[in-house]
Structure 1
Amino acid sequence: MDADLTTGERIRVLRESRGMSRPVLAQLCGRGVEWLKKIESGERELTSHPLLLQLAAALQVADLSVITGADTPAAAATAAPLGRLAHPGMPDIWSAVMTRSLTPAAAGLVDAAALQGRVDQMWRLWHTSARNRTEVGALLPDLIRDGEHAVRTLDGEQRRRAQVALSDIYRLTGQATAYVAPAELAWVVADRALSAAQAADQPAAIAAASWNLGNILRETAYAEEALRVVEEAADLIRPHLDGAPDDWRGIYGALQLHAAVTAAREGREGDAWRYWERGDQVAKNLPVAYVHPSTVFGRANVDFHAVSVATDLKKSVRAIGLADDIDPDAMPSVERRARLWVEVARGHLQRGDRTAALHVMQMAHRIGAETVSYTPSARTVAADLWRNSPRSMRAESSRLAESVGIATVG
């Protein structure tokens, strides 16, 4: 980077070097194209530190001095934490998680029931919003701080309930920052969720936190460890299921589906379908309309997971056949519906049918834009379509890649 370049010129060079268009970068910062154009041209100064952090995260730059050109201790020491993908809400979440106080703040007591109510509302927002990462991510920092404050200031049964709520908060944080959080934050969040659940000594909370930890282990290529964690969690909660609330059985079923996908990704077909059948049996014993509030385990999700298992086993004909028999509207989660169509698109790609894959990916993006933009498997499909589609589909595949944030024309 030329030392004489202005901040705006540096932003433009970094953006173009990443093959990122101006509309995509502006959207990641929550700003308009004209704002970014003025910043890059020098017509407008970049004086907002939060916006600087958002630009750094979106451009995958850890040292702010690369953008500002200021070789000062303050600039060099300010790092924007990065995951595999970038989201502008990540710096605030990072701050809330990694800079928690060891002593309670002077604020008053936090009611445990009210805290849990806020968490439940956040899970509903996560599953119903097409911009779930952005909307939930904006609310998470305050919720994390309030949850930490509650477990430090409450005692007795109220503290135990606050521990369950805090475990839920960190599970939600893990979901909202998947693929955009640096590895160290992902592990911290997973560990805190499990520690809070264990402190509460509540089997369902421990099982849910283990489901979350299993996600981290699976996504970081520790498949055997992921299976061990979810199997131990299932063994822990199983003796408590008779007469337990539906949500306890729901998380037990979710653990089975988690194991099914993990086994499928390892090519263990028999194990994968055996785990899926256990989850299917749990769903059959729950009310028809039942949906677990955070994992969305229920009849529809079991059917959706059958498609995922078949796709991960590279049984594309079976996966597409299973998808043909599914009613997507039976699933109340926008995120899960979008992910279903991503799985179907993967199946079409396995068969070499890019026309069908593009059509289905466009459906997925219309349903849950941020789910597609921030899920690596979805971005892989979009990138394949952009690079390999026939000439007649290039314009549409390029528009899809552009909207997902994959490098296309500048």
Structure 2
Amino acid sequence: MDDLSMGERIRALREARGMSRAVLAQLCGRGPDWLKKIESGDRELRSYQLLMRLAAALQVNDLSKITGEAPPVTVPLPVPSATLDHPVLPQVWDAVMGRAVKSEPPSEEPNPARLQGRVDQLWRLWHSSPRNRTEVGALLPALIREAETAVRVLDGDRRRDALKTLSEIYRLTGSVTAYIVPAELAWVVADRAMSAAEQADDPHSIAAAAWTLGNILRETAYPEQSLSTVLDAADLLRPHLESAPDDWRGVYGALQLHAAITLAREGKEAEAWAAWDKGDQVAKSLPASYVHPATVFGRANVDLIGVSVATDLQKSQDALERASEIDPGLMPSVERQARQWVEVARGEMQANNPTAALYVMQRACETGIETVRYTPWARTVTSWVFRNAPRGLRREADVLAELVGVSTPG
């Protein structure tokens, strides 16, 4: 295959596996016409993310079999984002899917302000607990049911307030169930959040729901739709920013950072950093101590996303240099602190430094074990560390894999 183009290599690998063009394209989240153009050479494959999806779908462990060029370091394939089990899932999902069309009226009239106060408490717990899925997930089912009841029995402004709270509850549910439910169920949660926000006719709630929907679109292989969703939401908020509360600007900034990550994963470097710069400017316009209660947008989060953008662009040196200037302890969220360590570990993996990646992943686990266990890239890095750790660190690599829940040979 030495004299074949990349497109010809992809076609040969596909046909060798007996896969139709439509099937392979679907596995990559694209249509058959897209793959036809790639295979014929009418379109270049520039997206690293799509290259990785092709490799995973074709079960190719060596990217040079597709590109024809040996990479400077071995690039591991992502761990498949299969559904992972969690004890809270059945109860949460029963509350999401079991909302009754008819039910007995509540014993007392729901209080939207009290419901919102409980949601605020759960966001704080989500960002402060190293076992956030377990602790927040245990409290969500009752809150979902109460909010659904409030929307059903209230009217006027009180119903509108209840709808905004219900949208936020479903956004929190999306965070709790991320990577532990199939894609179609994640879509249900995102749709509920958006539907409630639209019924409330509240731009802030709609934009925040779009942020959640954008996450699900991106993680289920719809990057273009993800990008248009968050940019449309940013356009919705923009006319209000001059006089809006800080949290409206916080969501606007979070949408820009979301776009930066999506663009970076598509290999669009200039556009990714332009979006990050917009988020950075929003952070500079807010008080230095500002942190959005749900997205954690603020100064520390902007810096963290800068590391992620560099990592997604395969700029490991830039990512590690940025990371060296950040103190994860300043991030007002245990979940984001753990993610910060995972992002640093990704950079070390790209730089082919298994010892450093092992150490950083140990820090990530110490910070927020559930965040690590249910973050796909954390599982990818852990698998790579297990395969590449020096002989003297094999035992520690084995302990890490067991802790994260990554299967290892024999």
Cα deviation, residue 85, structure 1: 1.2
Give me the whole-angstrom Cα distance separating, in 2, the residues matched to 1:105 and 1:278.
49
Cα deviation, residue 351, structure 1: 0.8
Partner in structure 2 of residue 288 of structure 1: 288
After superposition, the CA RMSD in angstroms is 1.2
Give me the whole-angstrom Cα distance separating, in 2, the residues matched to 1:347 and 1:325.
14
How many correspondences in the alignment? 329
Partner in structure 2 of residue 248 of structure 1: 248
Partner deviation per Cα, 1:243-298 (whole Å, 9 max, x = no partner): 11100000000000000000000101011000000000000000000000000000
Q: How does 1:106-185 map to 2 (within 5 A)?
A: 106-107=105-106, 108-185=108-185
Indicate if the aligned counterparts of 2:183 and 2:220 stay in contact, CA closer than 8 A.
no
- Paired residue type of 1:258: H
Indicate if the aligned counterparts of 1:104 and 1:152 stay in contact, CA closer than 8 A.
no
- Kindly indicate whether residue 104 of structure 2 is the aligned counterpart of residue 105 of structure 1: yes
Q: How does 1:385-396 map to 2 (within 5 A)?
A: 385-396=385-396
SS at structure 2 position matched to 1:273? helix
- Kindly indicate whether residue 87 of structure 2 is the aligned counterpart of residue 88 of structure 1: yes
Give me the whole-angstrom Cα distance separating, in 2, the residues matched to 1:283 and 1:90.
35
- Paired residue type of 2:340: L
SS at structure 2 position matched to 1:277? helix
Give me the whole-angstrom Cα distance separating, in 1, the residues matched to 2:128 and 2:164.
23
Cα deviation, residue 241, structure 1: 1.0
Cα deviation, residue 391, structure 1: 1.1
Indicate if the aligned counterparts of 2:354 and 2:389 stay in contact, CA closer than 8 A.
yes
Give me the whole-angstrom Cα distance separating, in 2, the residues matched to 1:262 and 1:379.
20
Cα deviation, residue 393, structure 1: 1.2
Indicate if the aligned counterparts of 1:223 and 1:262 stay in contact, CA closer than 8 A.
yes
Residues 105 and 83 of structure 1, relative CA distance in 2, 3 Å threshold: farther
Give me the whole-angstrom Cα distance separating, in 1, the residues matched to 2:165 and 2:247.
15
- Identical columns (%): 64
Cα deviation, residue 86, structure 1: 1.1
Indicate if the aligned counterparts of 2:167 and 2:193 stay in contact, CA closer than 8 A.
yes
Give me the whole-angstrom Cα distance separating, in 2, the residues matched to 1:329 and 1:259.
25
Q: Which moved more, 1:275-284 or 1:105-114?
A: 105-114
Cα deviation, residue 408, structure 1: 4.0
SS at structure 1 position matched to 2:300? helix
Cα deviation, residue 405, structure 1: 1.2
Indicate if the aligned counterparts of 1:260 and 1:272 stay in contact, CA closer than 8 A.
yes
Partner deviation per Cα, 1:91-132 (whole Å, 9 max, x = no partner): 111111111101243323210000000111100000000000
- Paired residue type of 2:397: S
Cα deviation, residue 88, structure 1: 1.2
- Paired residue type of 1:322: R
- Paired residue type of 2:99: R
- Paired residue type of 1:113: A
SS at structure 2 position matched to 1:352? coil
Give me the whole-angstrom Cα distance separating, in 1, the residues matched to 2:326 and 2:350.
20
Partner in structure 2 of residue 275 of structure 1: 275
Cα deviation, residue 304, structure 1: 0.4
TM-score normalised over the length of structure 1: 0.79
TM-score normalised over the length of structure 2: 0.79
Give me the whole-angstrom Cα distance separating, in 2, the residues matched to 1:125 and 1:241.
29
- Paired residue type of 1:178: A
Give me the whole-angstrom Cα distance separating, in 1, the residues matched to 2:398 and 2:155.
56
Q: How does 1:345-360 map to 2 (within 5 A)?
A: 345-360=345-360
Give me the whole-angstrom Cα distance separating, in 1, the residues matched to 2:103 and 2:241.
37
Q: How does 1:7-22 map to 2 (within 5 A)?
A: none
Cα deviation, residue 388, structure 1: 2.2
Give me the whole-angstrom Cα distance separating, in 2, the residues matched to 1:149 and 1:308.
40
- Paired residue type of 1:170: Y
Partner in structure 2 of residue 41 of structure 1: none
Residues 105 and 182 of structure 1, relative CA distance in 2, 3 Å threshold: farther
Cα deviation, residue 184, structure 1: 2.3
Give me the whole-angstrom Cα distance separating, in 1, the residues matched to 2:332 and 2:198.
30
Cα deviation, residue 357, structure 1: 0.4
Cα deviation, residue 205, structure 1: 0.4
- Kindly indicate whether residue 302 of structure 2 is the aligned counterpart of residue 302 of structure 1: yes
Partner deviation per Cα, 1:190-218 (whole Å, 9 max, x = no partner): 00100100100110000000000000000
Cα deviation, residue 409, structure 1: 7.6
Partner deviation per Cα, 1:138-195 (whole Å, 9 max, x = no partner): 1111111011011001111100000000000000000000000122220010001001
Give me the whole-angstrom Cα distance separating, in 1, the residues matched to 2:105 and 2:163.
20
Residues 101 and 256 of structure 1, relative CA distance in 2, 3 Å threshold: same
- Paired residue type of 1:125: L
